[in-house]
Amino acid sequence: AIVSAKDMLLKARNEGYGVAQININNLEWIKAVLQTVEELKSPVILGVSEGAAKYMAGYKNVVEMVKNVHDFLGVTVPVAIHLDHGTYEGSFKALEAGFTSIMFDGSHYPFEENLAKTKEVVAACHAKGVSVEAEVGSIGGEEDGVIGAGELADPAECKIIAATGVDMFAAGIGNIHGKYPANWKGLSFDTLEEIQKVTNNIPLVLHGGTGIPGDQVKRAISLGVSKINVNTECQLAFAEETRKYIEAGKDLQSKGFDPRKLLAPGTDGIKRVVREKIELFGSANKA
């Protein structure tokens, strides 16, 4: 079923596991993710950046594509369609188009402005039963043009934003979008612990899920992280499998150039990553 992210995250928070947000890019991504979560009986959040929505011909088309694939495959597990790192304007457009969950990322605004805009987005989304994610501090690195300095979140600011009624809360704790540099210091568990203490059991979100070692992910879950975002790792797997297929010359053999064959290994690569993440986060059989 296509639902908001609220209940699936509260259940994860109470039972001590994480739900994966897997970012999608096209039909192959949607099919790969939905098939895998249905097999594993896991809830999932489909992340859609504004750039990815544009690539997929707009928010309405994203919603229609996901709904149609969901119905076609007979998916029964909870699936949320979530705007990832939304702008203020984009948040309202995605809400209007039928997204069931919205991240308003106001982390680049001065704090008071982030707070005021988050409140507006919460009011509009909750009126439609749509869940909201806010962000304080910033995630390092770059994703689809969203660039973050990687500053650690201030727990006092987290407390105030959490009190706006947001359903989930992303805080910068040393996490970075994309591949982690060799000299990465790891997640700041001290910051995470402080944030957890002041945010009233709201499910916390860990961005930059690509390449965080499994033990750190598990420790983060034990400290209140209920949603982990993964994007780059699926893209790397898709690219690698596609390259292997072409380098082996398979596109030149018996109709191997047919996109249904050409894109199959990459799609299997996405499925493998999704399966690994769901097993690590502990959400299998939690639908």
Sites of contact with ligand G3H (CB under 6 A): 23, 47, 84-85, 143, 177-178, 207-210, 229-233
Could you tell me which residues are beta bridge partners of residue 205? 170, 227
For residues 53-69, b (16+ Cβ closer than 10 Å) or e, as one string?
beebeebbebbebbeeb
- Of 2, 14, 4, 3, nearest to 202 by C-alpha is 14
Residue 232 marked ligand-binding: yes
84 is catalytic: yes
Choose between 6 and 177: whose C-beta lies nearer to ligand G3H. 177
Binding partner at 4 among Zn ion, ligand G3H, none, C-beta below 5 to 8 Å by kind: none
- Run of H or E including 235: helix 232-247
Asked whether 63 and 99 are in contact (CB, 8 A), the reply is yes
Binding partner at 167 among Zn ion, ligand G3H, none, C-beta below 5 to 8 Å by kind: none
Contact between 207 and Zn ion by CB under 5 A: the answer reads yes
Residue 87 marked ligand-binding: no
Give me the least distance between CB of 181 and ligand G3H, in Å please.
12
Choose between 56 and 245: whose C-beta lies nearer to ligand G3H. 56
Interatomic CA distance for residues 5 and 8, integer angstroms: 6
Annotated catalytic residue: which of 84, 154, 190, 251?
Answer: 84
Which residues are part of the catalytic machinery?
Answer: 84
Binding residues: 85, 105, 135, 177-178, 207-210, 229-232
